[in-house]
């Protein structure tokens, strides 16, 4: 069963400025886990994260209440797992599956310095404080910022639409808001653009999130994706499967 669902009504993400309450034992376990995690990867940073606390769906819209957490909570839940539903770190995030002018889907391979080295995913990531205005989380702002940081593209110049929600699954606790966007570059043009951007990041000692871009020809995208040996985000295959219908 797919864990992504077509968006068919407005989604409102309301932010409440408070921390999720975790039991002491769980907080201690997360702290021990994090100390070990940063020994293995000193590039990790335990910054502020966010978690969907409650959901209320009506005939008119879907309203989610989002509160604060920490990245260590998210990573612990992803790698170790938390059994109690109310303490899981179901974090909201936005992302976009790019489609080139010559009909290639674009995904990224995460850099070795990230928390998921060599993992395959679309451009996107977690919420930032800059995405919150007057108590509402703006997913378009989130996607725009991540796309600029990772691929150096401007969302305002892309024909895109939010199409799917990723719901939590057995292997990943997240609420993803997934867009599909058509760009004006060909595969070769985008790849050259990205490689030049990556060189700029290296020269200036800036963070690299994607090690490289991977291009999947639309008519054979699922097979090409399956042939790749990298770990893949759980939503990725379902998203590609739906996107080939567009």
pTM of the model: 0.92
Instruction: Give yes or no for a contact between 136 and 15, defined as CB atoms under 8 angstroms apart.
Output: yes
Tell me the per-residue pLDDT of 214-235, one tens digit each, with 9 for 90 and over.
Answer: 999 999 999 999 999 999 999 9
Distance in angstroms (rounded) separating the CA atoms of residues 8 and 153: 27
Confidence of residue 173 (pLDDT cuts 50, 70, 90): confident
Tell me the per-residue pLDDT of 194-213, one tens digit each, with 9 for 90 and over.
Answer: 999 999 999 999 999 999 99
Q: Which of 143, 95, 141, 93 is nearest to 121 (CA)?
A: 95
Confidence of residue 170 (pLDDT cuts 50, 70, 90): confident
Cβ-count burial 219-242 (b if 16+ within 10 Å, e if not):
eebeebbeeeeeebbbbbbbbbeb
Range of the domain at 28: 4-243
Q: What is the pLDDT of residue 130?
A: 95
Q: What is the mean pLDDT of residues 135-149?
A: 97
Q: Could you tell me where the DSSP H helices lie in the chain?
A: 24-40, 71-79, 139-151, 187-203, 221-227, 236-243
Q: Which of 233, 246, 242 is nearest to 107 (CA)?
A: 233
Cβ-count burial 35-64 (b if 16+ within 10 Å, e if not):
eebeeeeeebebeebbbbbeeeeeeeebeb
Q: What is the pLDDT of residue 1?
A: 54
Sequence-distant (6+) residues with CB within 8 A of 211 are 108, 109, 110, 111, 112, 118
Confidence of residue 21 (pLDDT cuts 50, 70, 90): very high
Q: How far is CA 93 from CA 19, 46, 243, in A?
A: 18, 17, 19
CATH code for the domain of 87: 3.90.79.10
User: What is the total count of domains within the chain?
Assistant: 1
| Beta-sheet pairing, 159-166 with 174-182 | antiparallel
Percent of the chain surpassing pLDDT 90: 92
Confidence of residue 175 (pLDDT cuts 50, 70, 90): very high
Q: What is the pLDDT of residue 208?
A: 96
Q: What is the pLDDT of residue 246?
A: 86
Distance in angstroms (rounded) separating the CA atoms of residues 160 and 17: 30
Tell me the per-residue pLDDT of 42-83, one tens digit each, with 9 for 90 and over.
Answer: 989 999 999 999 999 999 999 999 999 999 999 999 899 999
DSSP 72: H
Q: What is the mean pLDDT of residues 126-155?
A: 97
139-151 and 187-203 helices, crossing angle to 10°: 80
Whole-number mean pLDDT of the chain?
Answer: 95
């Amino acid at each position: 069963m797919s864990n992504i669902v077509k968006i068919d009504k407005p989604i409102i993400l309301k932010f409440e400025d408070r921390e999720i309450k975790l039991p002491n034992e769980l907080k201690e376990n997360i702290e021990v886990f994090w100390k070990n995690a940063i020994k293995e990867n000193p590039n990790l940073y335990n910054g502020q994260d966010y978690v969907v606390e409650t959901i209320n769906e009506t005939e008119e819209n879907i309203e989610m209440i989002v509160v604060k957490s920490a990245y260590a909570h998210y990573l612990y839940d992803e790698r170790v797992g938390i059994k109690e539903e109310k303490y899981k770190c179901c974090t909201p995030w936005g992302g976009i599956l790019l489609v080139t002018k010559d009909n290639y889907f674009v995904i990224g391979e995460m850099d070795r310095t990230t928390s998921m080295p060599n993992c395959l995913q679309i451009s996107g990531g977690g919420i930032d404080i800059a995405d919150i205005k007057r108590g509402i989380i703006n997913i378009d702002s989130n996607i725009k910022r991540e796309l600029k940081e990772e691929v150096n593209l401007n969302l305002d110049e892309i024909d895109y639409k939010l199409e799917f929600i990723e719901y939590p699954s057995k292997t990943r606790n997240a609420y993803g808001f997934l867009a599909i966007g058509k760009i004006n570059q060909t595969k070769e043009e985008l790849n050259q653009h990205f490689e030049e951007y990556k060189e700029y990041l290296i020269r200036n000692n800036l963070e690299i999130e994607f090690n490289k871009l991977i291009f999947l020809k639309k008519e054979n995208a699922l097979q090409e994706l399956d042939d790749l040996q990298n770990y893949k985000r759980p939503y990725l295959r379902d998203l590609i499967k739906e996107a080939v219908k567009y």
